[in-house]
Amino acid sequence: MRILADVFPAHFSAAPAGALRDVFELNPISHILGTFYVSTTRVIVSDTHVTVASDAPEGPQIVFHETYLSYFPADSQSGVYRVLTTSGKMLAFQKDNSCGCGSRLRAWNPYRTLSSILDPTQ
């Protein structure tokens, strides 16, 4: 699994399939009718999936996870990333200027790697 983007803290917006004509109409901090907005998230884009996590009373919770068709990295002018999922949902996210202090997402390890000191082939 190759990580293309891991953005924290991030503003995140999602639009259902067919709500907008183009993924570039979606802005991560504007509240367009029919879209879903979360203010403090961690967004991870791998080579196959996009995952969005948010803080909850129980700790970090995954609020969105899906495969995607198109990924548009942030340009230097707007800093907005965009994703079009396989089901047609449109996502937009952008790095927040705050530090994300107090959020448990900073220390959250979503990669689920295991280390072993023993080689199973020996």
Provide the token pair at 106.
Answer: 């900073």
Residue 84: how many other CB atoms lie within 10 Å: 19
Residue 119's pLDDT band (cuts 50, 70, 90): low
Provide the token pair at 25.
Answer: 């109409």
The domains found in the chain, sorted by start residue, are 3-95 (2.30.29)
Average pLDDT over residues 6-10: 96
Q: At which residue do the structure tokens 């901090």 appear?
A: 29
Provide the token pair at 118.
Answer: 């023993």
CA distance 1 to 116: 19
Do 7 and 53 contact (CB within 8 A), yes or no? no
CA distance 35 to 37: 7
Provide the token pair at 1.
Answer: 């699994």
Tell me the pLDDT tens digit for each residue of 34-82: 899 998 999 999 999 999 999 988 999 999 999 999 999 998 899 999 9
Whole-number pLDDT of residue 118: 61
Q: At which residue do the structure tokens 């609020």 appear?
A: 63
Mean pLDDT of the chain: 90
State what percent of residues in the chain have pLDDT above 90: 67
**Torsion angle of the four alpha carbons 52, 55, 61, 67, in this order, in degrees rounded to the nearest 10:** 0
CA distance 49 to 29: 22
- Is residue 121 over pLDDT 60? no
Residue 16's pLDDT band (cuts 50, 70, 90): very high
